[in-house]
Structures are given as C-alpha cells and as structure tokens.
Amino acid sequence: MKRVLLASALSATLLLTALPMAQAATLDWTPCGDESECTTVTVPIDWAKPDGPTIDLEVARHKASGKSHGTMVLGDGGPGGKSADWVKSFKPDTTSNLGKNFDLIGVNARGLGKGYEVSCATQSGPEHGLPSTPEEFATLNAENRAFAEKCRELTGPLYDHLDTASNARDLEAVRAAIGVEKVSYYGISYGTLLGQQYAQLFPQRVEHMVLDSTMDHSIPDGTTFSATEAKSAEDNFGRFIGWCDKTESCALHGDNVPAVVHTIQQKVAAGQVKDAKGRQFTGITLDALTFRAVNGEWAYPELATELKTIVDTGISTHENRTYPSYGTVHAILCQDWNFQLKDYADYQGLLQRVTEVAPLTRMSDYTQHTLSCQGWPVANTNPPKPAGPQPSSVLVLNGRYDYATVYAWAENLSAQTGWTLLTYDGGSHGTYGSRPCMTEYSDTFLLTGQLPPKGTHCAEVPGGTREQQQQRPADNLWAITK
C-alpha cells in the first residue's frame, strides 16, 4: 500500500494546534473485508517532532451504498477497539441510514495496528487484588513498573505516545489525506474521548458528532474516577434490590438485601467464606460479584442465588478474582488520566471514598483501572482538564444507569461544553442502534443537523435476554432503518 506522509510539510506549531486544509493525497485503496477498502497514512510518532520516526496507520473505508452525504469516522471503544477492523467487518447487505448515506472511515489507533502494535513479554501483567499493607502497595507499584518497562523496551518510542490527543492529531492527518473539508463522527465508550479531543483541537473540521456513552476527561484524579464508577455500580445494585423486593422468585425475596450483603462482607473479612476451590474468599471477589447487578434483569436471579448460598453456607460457587495490568489498555489509560496515587495513605483515602459512596458494591470492576496505573513509568502526557465551551455540532448520548461510562460524566461534559445531552432512562452501555428512540434522534441529527430539545429523555425498554444485553450496541448500526 502506498504510504502518505503529511506531517513533514507542516510546522510543529501548526500540528499541535490545527492542521490546515490539505489537497487530497493520492491514496492507494485496496479491497479488504467484505465490501471495504484499505490504505495507510503515515504520521509521526511524536507530533512535536514531525520529521522524526513514523508509523503507518491502518485506515479502512466503506463507501455509502447510496448517495454519500459526506464522510463519517467511527471511533471504537476500549481502549483497545480497532476501528479499521470494525469498518472491514461490515457486510454487503448494509441497509441503515448511515450505511446508505455516509462513507464510513475507521483508523486502527496507536498501539493497535499491524506494524505499530504494543509488544510485551506477556499478554498481561501481574495479577493483583487490593493491597492491605504499605508493603503490598509498594509491591503493586514495583510489579506494574517492571511489566510496563519491558513493554516500553519491546515497543520502542511509540509506547510513550499512545495518548488520545496524539490519536486525534492522527485523525486530522487522515482527514487531510482523504481530502474532505469536514467529517462527521460516531464514537462509543472510550471512542468518545477521541471525538471530544478531535472536536476541541479541530472544531472547524466537525460536521456532526455523536458521542455514545461518554468519557469525562475533566476527572482530576484516580480517587474521583473510582468514586464515580463505584457510585454507578451502587445505583445499579439498588435496581437489583428493587427487583428482588417485588419478585417472589428471587432467592432473597423478603430478606433485607443490604443487610445480607453487609453480613457477607463481615464473614469475608473474618475469613469465614471459601471460594469454589476451597481458598479464603476475598473481598475484591465479593465486590466483583455484586457488580454483576449492572448486567440487568437477566443476571438478577443468579446473583440472588449466589448471595443466598454464601450467606447460608459460607461457600461461593465462584473462584477468587484478581485484576491484571495490560500493556496496551493501561498504557493508553495511564497517559490519558492522572491515576497515580502518591502513597499508601493516598490509596487508603481512595478506598475510604469508594466505600462511602458505594457501601454494597465498593471496589467494582472499573475502579480497578486506577490500581493498574500505580508505578507506571510513562508520563501522564494527556492530562485531564475541563473541556470548556464548544461548538454545538455534538450530541451526547448516555444511559441513566450506564455502568461503565457513568451518567454523571455525561452531565459534566454537557455542562462544560454546552453540548446537548440525550438521556436513555435505563442501564444500556451504548444506546445507538440498540435503543430505537435514541437511534431516531441520532439519525435525525447526523443527517440534518437538527438536535433534540434540551433535556430530552428516552424511556427505558424493559427486559431483554442475556444475548441482547451483551450485544455490542453499535453493531446494530448497520441493520436499523428509519
């Protein structure tokens, strides 16, 4: 594939603020996937040094099946989702409004594409639970640091430049290479941070943007991040309690569910509960168990039965849980967020804050990302900050009980930027394509620019099977018509 290098023609100053409009490069598009085409665009590893070492970004395009209304970039979640691979997976029978009306573009982000992957000695780093002493906290830091330093050695200079702001500048280089004046954008989950930063760096290049289940890059530190995630898990557990109170088939129906959980917490702390292999059941495994309430009603019966089994027998059917660090995921997270804790006392403060806001669910799955960044050797190159007022060409979507990108983040982002927030009054992570009301408002905005009225809510669609709840939300993007 023909390589295109745009960076060397532009000054570092311009690259760090806004790229000017460029003539369309002569890109060599070759067939890939079922009905897509692929090319590469070359960008500098360090945007502050445009004449330095480079990588060749994988770019995929799926042309509109009807008359094209412009170019739309897709931003996958994760971090770690491969947007070019997402586009390549599209089927020839695409019939949605977006598939008909937009040329769809995906870029495999830094650390995720062929020839520019993150390389580590092992797929994942050291497994960890919750440190309970200063010595264990120091060990966590040392093991994380050793793992990441080996990844850094094997990956090379790119490892220090995996942040989302660098990916936003990459996206602008792709836009310029394609030769379009503006792009629309759909991002889901962590892909919303890429959209936000692109809109902030290059507002004049945004046609319309939908941010589905959004990050809030104004979160100042790991304690606040963990507390907001934990509060969302606690709110979801409250929905489980309400279901159990009104559902006779619930194994804990008629019981005081919070009291049951507190009893189990006490038994676990006293070493009176065993896991499925006969080992002492850990508090972090109990927290992971109560976190299952976020999955919705299909998960409630099994959760209730497991809690009753533990409180009655002192034995869990689940094995103990630990959390590893990952070379790519946490390299991105630790550069985008200020997760480093100063010392063991700071860590204790995090635990106290989380327990205050979430006494039943405590350190849920998503709070663990903070611990995986302890000891990380790469600088926080894309530090969080409030977004500030932004152009109004962005629509934010979020579920009220979203367990991963919590609703408070969407509220904060909307308040900081003035962007319209469209709320789904349920627990979905990802609402476009899987929730008809949210999809209709989004389609109208993307195709016409008409935003829903401020404060618009879409009613929760009750029920749903395990398969429906676990479906990747945006996969439906290609099957829905108006």
Classify residue 143: in a domain, yes or no: yes
**3-state DSSP assignment of residue 351:** helix
Which residues does residue 184 pair with via DSSP β-bridges, in sequence order?
A: 72
Classify residue 2: in a domain, yes or no: no
**What pLDDT score does 92 carry?**
54
**What pLDDT score does 427 carry?**
87
**What pLDDT score does 433 carry?**
86
**What pLDDT score does 463 carry?**
62
What is residue 108's DSSP assignment?
P
**What pLDDT score does 66 carry?**
84
Boundary-marking domain end, from 384, 410, 439: 384
Alpha helices in 102-207 (DSSP H): 134-155, 164-178, 191-201
Q: For the chain (length 482 residues), average pLDDT per consecutive 10?
A: 40 41 72 93 98 98 90 93 90 62 95 94 85 96 95 97 98 97 97 97 97 98 95 95 97 98 97 94 92 89 97 94 85 95 97 97 86 92 92 93 94 97 93 92 95 97 57 35 22
Q: Which of 148, 195, 160 is nearest to 52 (CA)?
A: 160
Same domain membership, residue 100 and residue 143: no
Q: What is the pTM of this model?
A: 0.91
Tokens of 384: 């969080």
**What pLDDT score does 190 carry?**
96
**What pLDDT score does 126 carry?**
81
d(Cα 260, Cα 250) in Å, to the nearest integer?
A: 14
| Residue that is written with structure tokens 């903070």 in the block | 370
**What pLDDT score does 25 carry?**
64
- Residues 165-224 have pLDDT tens digits of 999 999 999 999 999 999 999 999 999 999 999 999 999 999 999 999 999 999 999 999
Classify residue 256: in a domain, yes or no: yes
Which residues does residue 421 pair with via DSSP β-bridges, in sequence order?
A: 396
CB of 334 closer than 8 Å to CB of 376: yes
Classify residue 36: in a domain, yes or no: yes
Strand order across the beta sheet in which 457-458 lies: 30-32, 36-44, 54-62, 103-107, 71-75, 183-188, 206-212, 394-399, 420-424, 457-458
Boundary-marking domain end, from 347, 363, 384: 384
Which run of H or E residues covers position 62? Answer: strand 54-62
Same domain membership, residue 400 and residue 280: no
Same domain membership, residue 208 and residue 69: yes
Q: Indicate the burial class of 279 (C-beta count within 10 angstroms; 0-12, 13-18, 19 or more).
A: exposed
Looking up residue 182, the CATH number of its domain turns out to be 3.40.50.1820
**What pLDDT score does 266 carry?**
97
The letter for the amino acid at 219 is: I
Classify residue 293: in a domain, yes or no: yes
Same domain membership, residue 212 and residue 148: no
Same domain membership, residue 207 and residue 317: no
**Chain-centre distance of CA 269, in angstroms?**
32
Same domain membership, residue 140 and residue 175: no
Same domain membership, residue 90 and residue 173: yes
Same domain membership, residue 406 and residue 343: no
Classify residue 225: in a domain, yes or no: yes
Classify residue 311: in a domain, yes or no: yes
| Residue that is written with structure tokens 């985008």 in the block | 336
Same domain membership, residue 286 and residue 342: yes
Same domain membership, residue 251 and residue 192: no
**Planar angle of CA 169, 46, 60, nearest 5 degrees:** 45
**What pLDDT score does 349 carry?**
97
Q: How far is CA 216 from CA 227, 315, 337, in A?
A: 13, 39, 10
CB burial string 371-400: b at 16+ within 10 A, e below: bbbbbbebebebebeebeebeebbbbbbbb
* Strand 36-44 with 30-32, pairing: antiparallel
The letter for the amino acid at 387 is: A
d(Cα 344, Cα 431) in Å, to the nearest integer?
A: 39
Same domain membership, residue 355 and residue 274: yes
* Domain coverage including residue 239: 123-158+219-384
Q: Which of 445, 432, 394, 443 is nearest to 97 (CA)?
A: 443
Classify residue 185: in a domain, yes or no: yes
**What pLDDT score does 24 carry?**
59
Number of domains in the chain: 2
**What pLDDT score does 95 carry?**
43
Same domain membership, residue 246 and residue 333: yes
Boundary-marking domain end, from 351, 384, 417: 384
